[in-house]
Amino acid sequence: MAVQSQITRAFPGWVVRRPRLEERLRRGVQGPLTLVTGPPGAGKTVAVSSWAATGTWRPAALCWITCDDTTATVGRFCRALITSLRRAGIDLPVAPSGRRDGGDDEALSWELGEALSELAAPVIVVLDDFPARPGSAPAQVVTCLLRHARPVLRAVVLARGEPSLPLHRHRLAGELTEIRAGDLAFADHESAAVLARHGVRLAPAALRTLQERTGGWPAGIRLAAMAMAGRPDPDAVAARFSGDDDGVVGYLREEVVDAQPPGTRELLLATSVADRIDAGLAGGLAGEAGRAFPDLVRRNAFAVPLGHGWYRYPPMFGEALRTVLERESPGLAPVLHRRAAAWFERAGLLGEAVGQAARAGDWRYAARLVVDRLAIGGVLGLAPREHLDRAFDAMPREAVLGCAGPEPAIVAAAAAAARGDDPACAAALEHARAGLGPSSDGADPAARLCLAAVELCRPGLPAFAGAAGTFARVAALCREVPEPALDASPDLLALAHACGGRSHLWRGELREAARLFGEALAAAERAGGSAQSLECLGDLALTRALLGDVGRAAGLVARAGRRSGTPASPGSRGAVTLHLARAWVDLEQWRLDAARAELARAALAFPAPPDPLPAVVHALLAARTELGRGRPERALDDLRPAEMIVPRPAWLARRLALVSAEAHALRGESGPARAAAERAGGRGQLDAAVALARADLGDGAPDAAARLLRRSLRGPFEAPADARVEAWLLDAGLSFGLGDPSRGRRCLDRALRLAGREGIGRPFAMARGWLLPVLNRDPDLARQHRRLLEPLGLAPRNGGTPPPEPGPGPEPGAEPLPVERLSGRELDVLRLLAQMMTTEEIADRLCLSVNTVKTHLRNIYRKLAVTRRGAAVRRARQLSLLGPGSGAPARRSAS
């Protein structure tokens, strides 16, 4: 019957209340039109019937009409509506004439609208199974009634597709309430409630899997519940439940597929092989039948719009269509997949072309698409190319070994590299090289470039040590490839530039390395690969740190942190260099605990075996951090493993020697310090000259140290910013100690200005002993550099208020200030000296020889610029070098 006379009825036991939909419908019927659309089994009728049974629509009247053959003409539809209204207790004031079919349809609809408009109370008309085809009789009548019977008429239209009603007009007027398939889909708790009505309880993970596969499609959930009812392991059934289930296939075949005309049926089955479809692809797959695609997507709510003319089928519906296709035409699916691959290739949609070729089992075609278009980065995971990252996981071994060409082996190696399987990657690479032939230099440059890219990304390959020999080959291959093709693959450009940067960094050409890493970062960002961008950021930040550009390095690591929350995932190449760069910045900005934490994270992120260059930098930073904590012995311990690493760049060996020289100088061992400084280049480099000057100080020759340092500062060579800061700071300390406060102030100001630009604080914190008194006597200078000095605890006292008549250096008659930090052992000797111990007692207490104690005393006198024990103790107290209670006299020993 077209007319449903009883709205409140008994529902099946599996029906669950859906308050969110009931509320949408309650609000919707306050306006003229509510549209409920969804595919078969979406629960349209059940949802509206449940809402109608609540009675929340009263005091309005409600009637229900199911559109079928009995409402196929205007006259029949109008009579059905009048009959339904009468059964709902509504007699129209002026009944339409009820003329037979073939009369004036427009006049009949207008007459019915006029009659409805004279009613005193609103009338809700539910129109179930409303036809979607244009020009249908229900559409004609409802369009007329919505125009002439407002505000009395409230229409609720239930349809599988979008009906030919004036929807845009009502949308613009804000008079349309829409409930689509996504709204009708069951939420997790609703699916669980339906399953519970069938006596089924699922684990949360199994329920999520079921939701993903069905998309919350109510009929699918019900069919799954029926399949699981009474089963001992419903979770296992849920894991297997999919669109090829006999219940699902049978339901959709009966309700959708077999109900279509032959041409539409052919179109549905042909287009099911693609994840998304537009009119062009539909024509390429179904031929003449594809012309009906626009009408299909308008009438069939199973076609979900994606925008820009693209549509998709819900996962379970698409899988069911493919099952029907396979059962009816077993050999047709691969043919359709190849057609789809060719169409996507012509359209320039590479990822989908590769995916379709793979589904067709044509692995050589799929691999050739990737290699010819230099898209290997998508397989390697360098750039987010849809459908490529897992496209070749299912490629069988025989497709690689049985192919004469190299392309399948290249992409197999890339897929193995992406998942970290080095043995499989190596085997595939060997087969790819064999496929290129003995004269591979004359082979396809695209294939050779893709092969080189995979070799660069091979798991466990030392990125820096191995780059030097690879860069020239990669650069030559990039020149052979047509420029437009390479520009379209910025991930490969980024890889090539990064390879070049690592090659130059290994050779110590830091500025050229920084330039190439910057170009690699720009290309990686164009490609959109977050992992590759972070790796390039790490390489660039570490190179900037090695150059002494601490400020730029700090900006780069901060940029990496903003991108990902954590610098990079553990185990990635970018993780190590980012942690090392962050540790370098933390050390220079005098955050020693943070530097140690970053070094620990870097150690955890090292691959096995670690790359030599980052491993040496790690040891270098660890030693410098120990120097900052005043532990030169531990610094030397940290350097020893790095000296065993081979191969090791010569410029890094030089840096190790510089740190060794500083550690020996802090221990008061001027001979080893001088030898290490000579290994680092001696007077020919500014940082080595600083180390030699410290050795001269250790020998008690501050004048020689000053002359050497000043000659080096006038040298023509370019030195990193951190080396220049240390040189100017040491010159300042020497000048103050040698009685030249004017030069001392100029040098200190220059060091502070340069350090302020770069954010370098470590040298000033390590010179605290002599620097703090100078700044306390010169608050004007300290105020100019407060931003740098305050975090280091070197701001002037009393809030920076200058004392009366401030001077540029030490007050007249004041003893010279120390120019070098005391070692840990020298501090131990100084504390015992403050307790009035003799040289022999100090030697006995510290288990040292008397001559060694005398050597420490000479170093202490020199560093504190004094000549007597009492003066040394007074100066130590002025500089806060002695702990509390250190001035109490000690009981002399029996000797």
d(CA 341, CA 335): 10
Dihedral sign computed on CA atoms, order 281, 284, 287, 291: positive
Based on the fold, state whether residues 295 and 384 are members of the same structural domain: no
pLDDT tens-digit series, residues 782-826:
999 999 999 998 876 554 443 333 333 333 334 444 556 788 888
Q: Which helix (H) or strand (E) holds 297?
A: helix 293-299
CA neighbor of 317 nearest in space, from 174, 390, 409, 217: 217
> For position 867, which CATH number holds?
1.10.10.10
At 93, is the pLDDT very low, low, confident or very high (cuts 50, 70, 90)?
A: confident
Domain boundaries, position 379? 331-454
d(CA 799, CA 788): 15
Q: What's this model's pTM, rounded to 2 decimal places?
A: 0.69
Based on the fold, state whether residues 45 and 145 are members of the same structural domain: yes
DSSP state of 306: E
Residue 285's pLDDT is 95
Residue 801's pLDDT is 43
**Residue 484: pLDDT above 90?**
no
d(CA 772, CA 163): 84
| 256 domain residue, yes or no | yes
Where does a domain end: 184, 219, 247? 184
Q: Which helix (H) or strand (E) holds 4?
A: strand 3-4
- Which bin fits 610, alpha (ψ -120 to 50), beta or left (φ > 0)? beta
At 866, is the pLDDT very low, low, confident or very high (cuts 50, 70, 90)?
A: confident
Based on the fold, state whether residues 158 and 170 are members of the same structural domain: yes
Residue pair 562/530 in contact by the 8 Å Cβ criterion: no
pLDDT tens-digit series, residues 660-681:
999 999 888 889 999 999 999 8
Beta bridge partners of 892: none
Based on the fold, state whether residues 771 and 866 are members of the same structural domain: no
Based on the fold, state whether residues 346 and 381 are members of the same structural domain: yes
At 336, is the pLDDT very low, low, confident or very high (cuts 50, 70, 90)?
A: very high
d(CA 157, CA 37): 8
3-state helix, strand and coil shares in percent for the chain, rounded to the nearest 5: 65, 5, 30
Where does a domain end: 817, 837, 855? 817
> For position 117, which CATH number holds?
3.40.50.300
Based on the fold, state whether residues 16 and 111 are members of the same structural domain: yes
pLDDT tens-digit series, residues 178-198:
999 889 999 999 999 999 988
| 206 domain residue, yes or no | yes
Based on the fold, state whether residues 232 and 362 are members of the same structural domain: no
Average pLDDT over residues 41-66: 90
Residue 567's pLDDT is 43
Residue 648's pLDDT is 86
Using DSSP, state whether 325 is helix, strand or coil: helix
**Residue 863: pLDDT above 60?**
yes
| 753 domain residue, yes or no | yes
**Residue 6: pLDDT above 50?**
no
| 37 domain residue, yes or no | yes
| 139 domain residue, yes or no | yes
d(CA 30, CA 872): 94
| 721 domain residue, yes or no | no
Task: Please give the share of the chain, as a percent, with pLDDT higher than 70.
Answer: 90
- Which bin fits 295, alpha (ψ -120 to 50), beta or left (φ > 0)? alpha
Total structural domains in the chain? 5
Based on the fold, state whether residues 74 and 28 are members of the same structural domain: yes
Looking at per-residue pLDDT, the higher value among 681 and 585 belongs to 585
Based on the fold, state whether residues 30 and 174 are members of the same structural domain: yes
| 368 domain residue, yes or no | yes
CB-based contacts of 819, cutoff 8 Å, min separation 6: 697, 702, 730, 733, 734, 736, 737, 770, 863, 865
At 578, is the pLDDT very low, low, confident or very high (cuts 50, 70, 90)?
A: very high
At 106, is the pLDDT very low, low, confident or very high (cuts 50, 70, 90)?
A: confident
| 888 domain residue, yes or no | no
Residue 12's pLDDT is 65
Residue 488's pLDDT is 85
Dihedral sign computed on CA atoms, order 840, 844, 846, 849: positive
**Residue 512: pLDDT above 90?**
yes
Distances (CA, A) of 43 to 50, 66, 88, 255: 10, 15, 24, 14
Beta bridge partners of 127: 65, 157
